[in-house]
Structure 1
């Protein structure tokens, strides 16, 4: 594949509008992702943008390209969907040709966007030699991927070679972000409206397509495609996720989950759960007592977006419990706010522990007394607690 074969990916070369930008503009709810402001555009930069499928990484990149085109010639911007490349050699050749084009057109700084690199084994071989040779020193390179650990492993192959580059994780909208997109100002004074929005959020999650009412078959299909692409069994994946959902919201172990399958070993179940964490499907809250984290003890597994919980419950034929869904949403929001989340269990249990917070989520009546240090959230208190956790404010 040659550079000239990529015109359809780079319609601005021919003065045409990009498909993703047009779709974004036509959506009822659309917003400029805040993470775009974190990208380094200073040569040389090697940025990494990580996040789950269908979260808007590609659309965000295309919006950034439209902004760059206001001050740069069309030939200065290259976008490559790496999924279509058969090997890293084609990527290397394309980038070499792009350098030749820049020189021919008298362009000093190029902006290169490599999308979904996790789909191409050894993708880094297509760019690292050029960085090592100093051929990209005047360029800005942005790489996106949907498998966190795989890309993070690849990032380690560029020690001291990233210039001013940043690493950014893009997740589905949090509930506070969702409220902002819906245009609700001063939510603390609009209790009924907040509760209705939270009910909608539990159904759509924070994915742009679902928020705009589009069918989510594509999202489920994208994850199934990832499972197959990485050589995993759909049957084992389905049984493992079903076991996670059935065991929630209680803490459990890999062995206990394996016992809920048709006979897979705990090692197999552990491998699949670790894989699901790579794909941003699941998160793990470990038991924490005092300052000690007990990694070998039972764990709480949580879905990283309510829509993912609903999709995989439907796919695995498992009933989704409301109390588990509320707890998962709280755990995920605390994880985003503090970068980590645990749970606590002694004479009482706290579903989520992060920073100085201990939180217990109770969708029904609370019969047990908890210490004052534990914040007990009823069903209608959860959305207002989440609104307190916006990054601009300290957690209460």
Structure 2
């Protein structure tokens, strides 16, 4: 255990961290903005949640690099909890560091526990030590890949968060992708007016959009890591098994969604196709949502209708591409563009809906109504519906 702890903290012996060395070799690299939102004043208990491969660990290591400029190396502790088989091992790792902290005379420590949701009932140790006052002069940052597990367990710490914050890390949006590639886009809040101001840079935006279609917003795919899709799928399979779900059934559900997209469908429709109950499909889709893979747009007419068919969409186009290869189903081109619009609106407004009557509106979010007409026949729409096609979808995504 002692050697494993030391390997996780190479700065204690003046060595370079491998994650930072990898980051330094990337062609496209950036310092994540969410680092500025963390509570770093003792006592703080931060929770950082986001999909695997999204850059949570790299972000933490970049923060550690910054902290090393003003802190003793032994005052910074990092551990990847994927290495821990059980709760007892977590306690031993923490006790080992607390011994080091005492010997080195560290008053204020920064403790980073990565992917802690790998350890069942991890919160028992952290909560117990907080109640004992063990961490009262420290900053603890905990990360996880399952929003249900981490967010749900974070609620077990009422009055024990101090200055801590909740952070959700997503793949880069197209606007963020433009920024890390050196193109800053101003958005004042009116998408159509913002799009109009971009036409002078339309050629540049379109070129980067063609790249974004392939890479999405994950760091490895943006930097053309050859195994990025394999790593994404391996992480998904691992999280699926941890949830007690079947990898094969997950694949079949995703394949069914790919085949039917972008049409609204029900859990029952998917279940009948693959031979399981609607309840099973619902549970699996909820698990994919908690892993930041899948989202749904409910029908909204006079109100939100929970029982109607829903539109499923993937939260990143690189993830959708990897899942398409994994499931063996290629979605319609129009579905891919629609997913991109829905995922961007989801992140901005928190929820997305659709409408279907004499005409269809793919995405309703906030006061926006958006229809993606790529691969569809053109019809007349009310004036308050924004129509997106091959000529302007990249401009819309750059300002939303």
Aligned to 2:86: 87
Q: Given the two structures, how large is their TM-score scaled by the length of structure 1?
A: 0.94
- The 5 Å alignment of 1:1-396 reads 1-2=1-2, 5-185=4-184, 188-215=199-226, 216=228, 217-261=230-274, 263-290=275-302, 292-364=303-375, 366-389=377-400
1:259 Cα shift? 2.2
Equivalent position SS for 1:380: coil
How many angstroms does 1:156 deviate by? 1.2
Runs of 4+ with >4 A deviation: 185-188
After TM superposition, give the deviation of residue 365 of structure 1 in Å.
5.9
Q: Measure how far apart 1:188 and its partner are.
A: 4.4
Q: Partners of 1:71 and 1:87 in 2: how far apart?
A: 34
Shift in CA distance, 19/366, structure 1 to aligned 2, threshold 3 Å: same
Structure 1: how far apart are the matches of 2:70 and 2:289? 39
Q: CA deviation at 1:366?
A: 4.5
**Deviation at residue 23 of structure 1 after TM alignment:** 0.5
Q: In structure 2, what is the Cα distance between the partners aligned to 1:371 and 1:121?
A: 52
Alpha-carbon distance in 1 for matches of 2:311, 2:111? 40
Asked whether the equivalents of residues 43 and 162 of structure 2 are also in contact (C-alpha less than 8 Å), the reply is yes
Q: 1:90 touches 1:126 (CA, 8 Å); kept in 2?
A: no
TM-score (norm 2): 0.93
Q: 1: CA distance between counterparts of 2:149 and 2:140?
A: 18
Residue deviations 1:159-193 (CA, integer Å, cap 9, x gap):
11111111111011100011111112456422122
Kept in 1, the 8 Å contact 2:292–2:315? The answer is yes
Give the Cα–Cα distance (whole angstroms) in 2 for the partners of residues 27 and 308 of structure 1.
Answer: 20
Equivalents in 2 of 1:104, 1:221: separation in Å? 40
The alpha-carbon distance between structure 1 residues 98 and 53, as it changes in their structure 2 partners (threshold 3 A), is: same
The size of the alignment, in residue pairs, is 386
- What root-mean-square deviation, in Å, do the aligned CA atoms of Structure 1 and Structure 2 show? 1.4
Name the SS of the counterpart of 1:158 in structure 2: coil
The change in CA–CA distance for 1:306 and 1:337 in structure 2 (over 3 A counts) is same
**Matched position secondary structure for 2:24:** helix
1:124-175 superposed Cα distances (whole Å, 9 cap, x missing partner): 1221111011111110000000011111111111111111111111011100
Q: Could you tell me how far apart the structure 1 residues matched to 2:175 and 2:165 are?
A: 24
CA contact (8 A) 1:310 1:320 kept: no
Q: Give the gaps of 5 or more residues in structure 2.
A: 186-197
